[in-house]
Amino acid sequence: MTATVLRWALKCLERRKAVVIATVIETTGSVPGKVGARIAMSESGNAWVGTVGGAGLEMKVLNRCRELINDTSKPYGEVKTFGLNKGAKGYEVQPLDSLCGGKVTLSLEVMIPMPHILLIGGGHCAQALAQSIDLLGWTFSVHDTRKEFCNSELYPSADKLYHLEVSEFLKSIEGEDASEFSDILLLGHDWSEDQNRLLGLLELYSNQNLELDGSLAPRIGVIGSRSKWQEFEKQGLAKGISQEILDSVICPIGLNIGAQSPEEIAIAVLAQIMSNFKNIDPDKPSWR
């Protein structure tokens, strides 16, 4: 059962769905679930696999899993003890209407999917980003119309390689789950290609009424100057894309740390993604 639960949880994470795994870590007296019993719930709260013993205990655990997966104040989980008797007492023991009489302690762990970043344009910045993404244990894919910048020799750890013309690439993305990528970064060598990609992506997600927040649809960022963005914005408005959707695009990408080289840009961009991923205000120091 443990292997089944873990495999199911990993599949959810691969689909970029958060998971809570509840594990029995300690028991006293008569209890329905033994040490090592597990149950996992996906972020929808409507699907789960495994068991921690059934009955009232399991319902309490499942309800708490639903709360934790949406509780940003406890992003990693908690340890909780239940007394299987309505008169159970003790420090932080949750009494249950049960006749078992034992006590169960569970670890409830929230597992958040790591970012999957689509690098559009496989040049120097994308190569520096790919190396840093590997070190972080995140996932990335690459799109470029040029074969020499989109191949397994240059990007051996890429999840997907899209060596396609822009129109073919947009058709390919349209057929995939919008939540597959947490972030899409436009790093292309040709501004006109990037403009067509950007407007195509914005039309696709806006037609689906998806918010570009890295959850149901990816955040979108563009490398480049303010004047470049103003032209992209002008063309977007001319195509009927709303100002609200355009305002959600990040341009220029990366925290303002004075980055110049591809490696420095990679640090600035990934730090910005990490601050969004962990809900951290980048303007407030995290060291105390």
Distance of CA 151 to the CA centre of its chain: 25
What proportion of the chain, given as a percentage, has pLDDT over 70? 88
What CATH number labels 116-277? Answer: 3.40.50.720
Extents of the domains making up the chain: 2-111, 116-277
Higher pLDDT, 221 or 102: 221
| pLDDT band, residue 95 (cuts 50/70/90) | very low
pLDDT single digits (tens) 222-273: 998 889 999 999 999 999 999 999 999 999 999 999 989 999 999 999 999 9
| pLDDT for 214 | 86
Q: Quick one: pLDDT at residue 112?
A: 86
pTM of the full structure: 0.81
3-state DSSP call for residue 9?
helix
| CB-CB contact of 35 with 106 (8 Å) | no
Q: Are 198 and 186 within 8 A, CB to CB?
A: yes
pLDDT for the residue 33: 74
Q: Tokens representing 156?
A: 């051996």
Q: Which range, of 6-10, 25-29, 137-141, averages the lowest pLDDT?
A: 25-29
The highest-confidence range among 40-54, 114-128, 169-183, by mean pLDDT, is: 114-128
Long-range contacts of 143-146 (CB under 8 A, 24+ apart): 143/118, 143/119, 143/169, 144/120, 144/188, 145/193, 146/122, 146/189
Phi, psi of 140 (to 5 degrees): -145, 155
Question: pLDDT-derived band of residue 83, with 50, 70 and 90 as boundaries?
Answer: confident
Of 6-20, 87-101, 174-188, least confident by mean pLDDT is 87-101
* β-pairing verdict for 19-28 and 38-42: antiparallel
pLDDT in tens, 15-65: 888 899 999 999 887 777 789 999 999 987 778 999 988 777 888 899 889
Cβ contact 245:202 at 8 Å: yes
User: What is the arithmetic mean of pLDDT over 117-129?
Assistant: 96
The rounded distance, in Å, linking the Cα atoms of 62 and 57 is 9
Residue 74: both structure tokens together: 């406890």
For residue 88, is pLDDT > 50? no
What's the mean per-residue pLDDT of the chain? 87
- Looking at residue 285, its pLDDT comes to 46
Taking residues 71-98, report their average pLDDT. 62
Instruction: Report the C-alpha gap between 130 and 119 in whole angstroms.
Output: 8
Which residue is associated with the tokens 């409830």? 108
**Cα–Cα distance, 198 to 72 (Å, whole number):** 31
DSSP letters along 102-166, please?
Answer: -EEEEEEEEEPPPPEEEEES-SHHHHHHHHHHHHHT-EEEEE-SSGGGSSTTT-TT-S-EE---H
Pairwise CA distance, residues 109 & 48, whole Å: 14
For residue range 206-221, what is the model confidence (pLDDT) as tens digits?
999 988 988 888 999 9
* DSSP 3-state of 226: helix
Checking if the pLDDT of 74 tops 90, the result is no
Pick from 56, 197, 82, 188: which is nearest to 126 by CA? 188
